[in-house]
Amino acid sequence: MTGRQLTGPAVTEVYRGRFAPSPTGPLHFGSLVTALASYLDARAHNGVWLVRIEDLDPLRESPAATEQILASLTAHGLESDEPVRLQSRHHQRYQQIIDNLLQHGRAYRCICSRRQLQESQGRHPNRCRKGSITADRVNHQPCAVRFALEDEDAHWQDQLLGPQCQQIRGEIDDPVIRRKEGFYAYQLAVVADDIDQQITRVVRGSDLLDMTAQQCQIYRTLGSRAPAWLHIPVILNGQGQKLSKQNLAPALDNLRPGENLLSALVALAQDVSDFATTDPVAHILQTAAARWQPSRIHLTAR
């Protein structure tokens, strides 16, 4: 591991957390649980809580979804401490980072299809990682950009799940950071924005746990320390599937914020004694933050 660092600001010691939904539909109960956990963790640490809209994929996004998501968060008292960030307004910075990674050999252009990679057990038959795909060659051919991972047994401490270890295999595990369609990918944008917004702790669903080791390496390459991680179990529907927009999870009823918040607190195994669904949202949030105990969260989804 060389740990070469390319860029990055100093890390602040003030707690800074965030909730970062994708605008593919209105907020549903599973997203509310994650947003609430992130918000309470920030408030319990007298920290800053931010909202970021990860609008990177216009092919999947709903034009009205961003406004719907923000309206639901407001209805439930979950408002960002700083202006809401839209990733679609930061493409120039993502491209500058990619150009820098390409220049330093920490990223490469890739023309391989998913089928080609599957048939080659993840190895690139076009020798993309060797730098054979130059900018001139891809002028008339769709081309993705991948981050060049270094082999590593990655270790970190999850604030709920405890010690974690993931093996990274360079080339086979290299994540796409700009898609062939030209869209900037999650693995790059999430790290770039966490660094830029000086995020110190990330509370998110355990469905993203497998991405953590790759992201930690990208943080280091960009000259920044990774945040602390707290992965909570995802909420499941009646068929045992993750509650999601893709699985037709119903939108939150913004007219019942107290009931929704209490249900989310129950899903997080928090103390809901003395609460009523008619309590003001501000009272529920303030009291829940004072009682916040992540250690109570069940380690398996419910």
CA 266 to chain centre: 24
In 86-232, where does DSSP find H-type helix? Answer: 91-103, 114-119, 186-196, 212-221
User: In sequence order, what are the beta bridge partners of 155?
Assistant: 165
Number of domains in the chain: 1
Say if 222 falls within a structural domain. Answer: yes
Say if 237 falls within a structural domain. Answer: yes
pTM comes to 0.90
Dihedral (Cα; 157, 161, 163, 164), 10-degree rounding: -90
Q: What is the CATH number of the domain that holds 259?
A: 3.40.50.620
What's 232-293 look like in SS3? ECCCECCCCCECCCCCCCCECCCCCHHHHHHHHHHHCCCCCCCCCCCCCHHHHHHHHHHHCC
Say if 132 falls within a structural domain. Answer: no
**What is residue 133's predicted lDDT score, i.e. its pLDDT?**
84
Say if 101 falls within a structural domain. Answer: no
CA 183/CA 193 separation, integer angstroms: 16
Say if 118 falls within a structural domain. Answer: no
Say if 162 falls within a structural domain. Answer: yes
**What is residue 11's predicted lDDT score, i.e. its pLDDT?**
45
Say if 190 falls within a structural domain. Answer: yes
Give the number of other Cβ atoms within 10 Å of residue 36's Cβ. Answer: 26
For the chain, which residues score pLDDT lower than 50?
1-3, 7-12, 302
Give the number of other Cβ atoms within 10 Å of residue 259's Cβ. Answer: 13
**What is residue 3's predicted lDDT score, i.e. its pLDDT?**
47
**What is residue 171's predicted lDDT score, i.e. its pLDDT?**
92
- Burial of 236: CB neighbours in 10 Å, binned 0-12, 13-18, 19+: middle
Amino acid at 107: A
**What is residue 131's predicted lDDT score, i.e. its pLDDT?**
84
Range of the domain at 232: 16-87+158-166+185-296
**What is residue 1's predicted lDDT score, i.e. its pLDDT?**
38
To 5 degrees, how large is the angle CA 96–CA 122–CA 114? 75
